[in-house]
Structure 1
Amino acid sequence: MRTNQAMSKAAGLDGSLNYETFPVLDRHLADPEPSMDKAPPLPSFEFSTEGLPRSDQFDAWRNSFAPMLELTPFDDTATDFRGRQKLWDLGSLIFAQIKTDRLAFASLPGHVRREPVDHWVLTLLQTGTIRTETPRNAFKAAAGDVQVHSLGRDFSGETSRSEMLMLFVPRDFSTETAATLSAAEFSTLATGMGRLFSDYLIGVANRLPTLTMADLPGLAAATRAMILACVSPSADHIEAAEGPIATILLERARQFVQSRLLDPKLECESVRRELGISRTRLYNLFEPFGGVMHYIQHRRLISAYSALSDPNDRRLIFEIAEQRGFSDGAEFSRAFKRAFGYSPSEVRKRGGGGIPNRPARNDEDCPSEERLGLLLRRLQG
C-alpha cells in the first residue's frame, strides 16, 4: 500500500508534491485554457561570447569561470571561440547549461584564490568528452556520463567541444550529502543509478522554465534524495527517492509514447519493456492518469487537435482520427469532446489556435561574464 501511495504522488520532484502543483507529462496541454494566475517562472541568466570581438571572446569566457577554474585555449585566441552559458539561481543550489569549444582547465592554486569557492560540481556531459587528472587518479567521461568534481581540491584536465549540464552543490547543503559526495569526488557515476541521475538532471533542465520560487524547497529536497540514492545507493536511499525516480520513469514513458504515437502496435507491454519495470509498477505509475492506454489515447487526441487546428492540414477528420488509432469516427468525436469540450469539426472550423502552450517566459537576461562568479560566491554563504 505504501508503494502505491508513493507512486501516486510521483508527479512531483519530491514525494510530497502532487501533479496539481508540479506539471508532469505535459498535463497543461489537456487544459484548453491556460491559467492566468500562475506565478512568474524563475529568472535565468545568460552569457555568450557571440558578438564579441574575436580577440576578446576567449578572455571573456575565461573571466566568467575565473572564480572556480583557470581556463587555457588550445587554439589561437584570434580565431572564434564559442561559449554559451545559462544559469539558474536555485537558492541552495546553482544549475548551469554550458556549451563550449575545446579548452583545458585547472583548479585554482590556494594562494591565488582571492574569493575562493569550494563546492562540488556534478557534471552531465551531453556531447563531447572530458578528461580529468588529480594527484591520485585520472578518469574520463563521455556523453551520458556524470562526473563529480570538488572545486576545493587540485585537478586539471581538458574538454573537447561539448555541451553539459552542471549542478553546483555547496558543502553545507546537508550532512549526508557532504559525506556522500566526499566519498565520490573525482569519479564518474558509471552505474545504472548514475544513469538515472543523468535523466534526473535532464528532467530538471527541461522543467526549470516552468518552476517558481515556491517550488525551490521541493526541488532541493528531491535533488538531495537523488544524490543520496544515485551516488551512494542503498535500500533506504532509493526508497526515500521514490518520488523523483517515478518522475524520471514517467518522463521516459512520455518520450517513448510520443516517439511511437502513430504506431498501431503501441500498447502497455511495449511501454513496460521500454522502462524495464514490472507490470505492477507500471500500473501504479500510471494510475493517476487513468492507466497507460488512457494516457496514450489522450496523447493521440492532443496530436489530433494539433492537426485539426493546422490550416495547412486539410485531410478529412476521419483520416486524422484513423492515423491515431480511431477506426470509429463517432467514437473519436465523443472522446475528443470529452477531452476538450468541443467537437473535432468545431476545431477545424475555427482554424488555427492550437492547444495553448505555457505563457512565454519573461527571462531576466543578464549577459554578464561575472554572473557565474557572483552566484558561486553567494552559494558559499
Structure 2
Amino acid sequence: MRFQQSYTTHARPVALMPYPPLGATEHTERDVEADIERSPGLPSFELSTEGFDPSVQFAVWHDSFAPILELTRTGSAEARFHGRQKIWDLGNLVFAEISTDELDFASLPGHIRREPLDHWTVTVLKSGRIRTDCARRTFTAGPGEVQVHSLGRRFSGHVSRSDMLMLFVPRDFSHEAAVALSAAELSKLGTGMGQLFSDYLVGMANRLPLLTQAEMPDLASATNAMILACVSPSADNVEAAEEPIATLLLEKARQFVQKRLFDPDLASEAVRRELGISRTRLYNLFEPFGGVMHYIQHRRLLGAHSSLTDPDDQRLILEIAEKHGFSDGAEFSRAFKRAFGYSPSDARRGGKGRMPCPKDRRRHDCPATGRLGTLLRRLQG
C-alpha cells in the first residue's frame, strides 16, 4: 500500500510513513527533514485508492482500517472502489476526513480474536447514512448527526457511499471526557447540543489547514470543553465551553439572519428558535452587539450600503431602504448615518463609496489591550 502524504510538521511522523508517496522519486532522510522544517502547519497524511489498479482498490482501503475495523465490500468485487482519507495528527487526538463507497463494518472484538485499539470515535456524516448494530439496540444517523463508538466494544453495521469526519479520542485524553464518552458510547447524540458538536467538528475540518503545531494545546482544550458541554451537558461543563459555543452560535445566527435578511417578520424570537436557546441565553449572546434587533438592523444597513455604492444598482434610495426592511425613509437615513457617519445620499454619490466603517466609540474608550477585540466584534456586526 502506498500513501500520499503532506509533510507538514516539525516532528517526523515515522510510524505513518511506511511507503513513499505515489509517483515520488527517492528522497534521503535529510531531504525529508528539510521539507518538514519548511512546513510549520499541522502534520497530515493522505491516502486515495484512485492511484491503484481497480482489482486491489478495496484491499488497499480494507488494509488502511485493519487496525480498528473489519471492512466487507457490499458491491461487485470487480468494480472500482472509491476511498479517500486525510488524517491529521493533533498530538493527543487524531482527526480524519473520509470519503468511502458503500461497505459493511465490524469492530475487531466481534470479528478477530485479538486485543484491538480501544479509542472512542466521534463521527459526523457530511453525506450518506450509517447504521450501527450492537447488543442492545440499533441506531442510524444521517448528515449532521453525531455518533459515538467505542472501538473496544462489539458492534457492526453498514454505511452507504458517504463523506464523514471522525475524531479519535484516547481513553486517557481526560478523566472528565472519559466519563462523558463512556456514558454516550454506541449511541447517537440526538440533542441540540449534539448538533452543536457536529458544527464544531465541521468547523475544525475547515480550519485545521490554517493552524500550527503551537496551537495544538489550545485546540485540545477547546475540544475537551466541547466534549464535556455537548456529550454530557451540565452547568459547569457548558460554562467551560462558553467561548467556542458562543462562536458557533453567533456564526449560525449570522447565516440565519443573512438568509432571511429581507423578511419583514424576522425578529429575535425567530433567531432564538433557530438557535434552540433560552431568551436569557439569547440576550447574553447578543449583548455586545446591542441586542438581536440591533444586530439584524446593522446587517440590513450593511446590505443597503452595498447596494447604494454599487454603480449598477440604480434603484431609488427609498426602494433600497424598503427592500432592507425600512418603511420610513427618514428613519433609514438616521440609522444609516449613525452606523457609518455619513448619509445614504453621500454613499450614493460615491464620495463615501468605500467599505463601510461603522462608528464604535468603545474602541476609543477601552484600554489599548482591548481595542483589537472591539474592532473584531464590530466587524462581526
TM-score greater than 0.5 by the shorter chain: yes
1:158 aligns with 2:158: yes
In structure 1, how many angstroms separate the alpha carbons of the residues matched to 2:196 and 2:65? 28
Distance 1:89 1:253, change over 3 A: same
Aligned equivalent of 2:136: 137
Aligned equivalent of 2:196: 196
Aligned equivalent of 2:219: 219
Q: How far apart are residue 72 of structure 1 and its match?
A: 1.4
Unaligned regions of 5+ residues in structure 1, if any?
1-38, 356-381
Counterpart contact for 2:301–2:336, Cα < 8 Å: no
Counterpart residue type for residue 63 of structure 1: D
Counterpart contact for 2:97–2:166, Cα < 8 Å: yes
Distance 1:336 1:179, change over 3 A: closer
Q: How far apart are residue 336 of structure 1 and its match?
A: 6.9
Superposed, 1:170-209 pairs within 5 Å as 170-209=170-209
CA-to-partner distance for each residue in 1:170-220, whole Å, 9 max, x for gaps? 111012222332333222223444333333333433444554444433332
Counterpart residue type for residue 154 of structure 1: R
Counterpart contact for 2:262–2:323, Cα < 8 Å: yes
Aligned equivalent of 1:229: 229
Distance 1:274 1:198, change over 3 A: same
Counterpart contact for 2:71–2:103, Cα < 8 Å: yes
In structure 1, how many angstroms separate the alpha carbons of the residues matched to 2:190 and 2:265? 34
In structure 2, how many angstroms separate the alpha carbons of the residues matched to 1:297 and 1:307? 15
In structure 1, how many angstroms separate the alpha carbons of the residues matched to 2:298 and 2:96? 34
CA-to-partner distance for each residue in 1:18-51, whole Å, 9 max, x for gaps? xxxxxxxxxxxxxxxxxxxxx9765654443346
The range that moved more, 66-75 or 77-86, is 77-86
In structure 2, how many angstroms separate the alpha carbons of the residues matched to 1:42 and 1:306? 38
Superposed, 1:191-340 pairs within 5 Å as 191-303=191-303, 313-316=312-315, 318=317, 320=320, 322-326=322-326, 328=329, 330-331=333-334, 334=337, 337-338=340-341
Q: How far apart are residue 222 of structure 1 and its match?
A: 2.4
Distance 1:40 1:314, change over 3 A: farther
In structure 2, how many angstroms separate the alpha carbons of the residues matched to 1:59 and 1:302? 54
CA-to-partner distance for each residue in 1:325-350, whole Å, 9 max, x for gaps? 356475576467459xx946549989
In structure 1, how many angstroms separate the alpha carbons of the residues matched to 2:167 and 2:104? 20
In structure 2, how many angstroms separate the alpha carbons of the residues matched to 1:230 and 1:173? 16
Q: How large is the Cα RMSD of the aligned pairs?
A: 3.7
1:100 aligns with 2:119: no
**TM-score relative to the length of structure 2:** 0.67
Aligned equivalent of 1:118: 118
Q: How far apart are residue 145 of structure 1 and its match?
A: 2.9
Q: How far apart are residue 168 of structure 1 and its match?
A: 0.8
**TM-score relative to the length of structure 1:** 0.67
In structure 1, how many angstroms separate the alpha carbons of the residues matched to 2:263 and 2:210? 30
Counterpart residue type for residue 141 of structure 1: T
Distance 1:345 1:95, change over 3 A: farther
CA-to-partner distance for each residue in 1:258-294, whole Å, 9 max, x for gaps? 2112223222232223334343322210122333233
Identity of aligned residues (%): 62
Aligned equivalent of 2:76: 76
The range that moved more, 270-279 or 314-323, is 314-323
Counterpart contact for 1:94–1:168, Cα < 8 Å: yes
> Per the alignment, in what secondary structure is the counterpart of residue 78 of structure 2?
coil
Q: How far apart are residue 59 of structure 1 and its match?
A: 2.7
In structure 2, how many angstroms separate the alpha carbons of the residues matched to 1:89 and 1:309? 46
Counterpart contact for 1:127–1:163, Cα < 8 Å: yes
Counterpart contact for 1:74–1:103, Cα < 8 Å: yes
CA-to-partner distance for each residue in 1:153-183, whole Å, 9 max, x for gaps? 3332211222322111011101222233233
Superposed, 1:5-84 pairs within 5 Å as 42=42, 44-50=44-50, 52-84=52-84
Counterpart contact for 2:192–2:276, Cα < 8 Å: no
Counterpart contact for 2:267–2:293, Cα < 8 Å: yes
In structure 1, how many angstroms separate the alpha carbons of the residues matched to 2:262 and 2:337? 20
Counterpart residue type for residue 49 of structure 1: T
Q: Which has the larger Rg?
A: 2
Aligned length: 309
> Per the alignment, in what secondary structure is the counterpart of residue 280 of structure 1?
helix
CA-to-partner distance for each residue in 1:49-105, whole Å, 9 max, x for gaps? 346443343233223323322211111133232333333332222222322221011
Counterpart contact for 1:321–1:332, Cα < 8 Å: no
Aligned equivalent of 2:10: none
In structure 1, how many angstroms separate the alpha carbons of the residues matched to 2:304 and 2:44? 34
Counterpart contact for 2:95–2:166, Cα < 8 Å: yes
Counterpart residue type for residue 264 of structure 1: P
Counterpart contact for 2:147–2:188, Cα < 8 Å: yes
Q: How far apart are residue 308 of structure 1 and its match?
A: 6.9
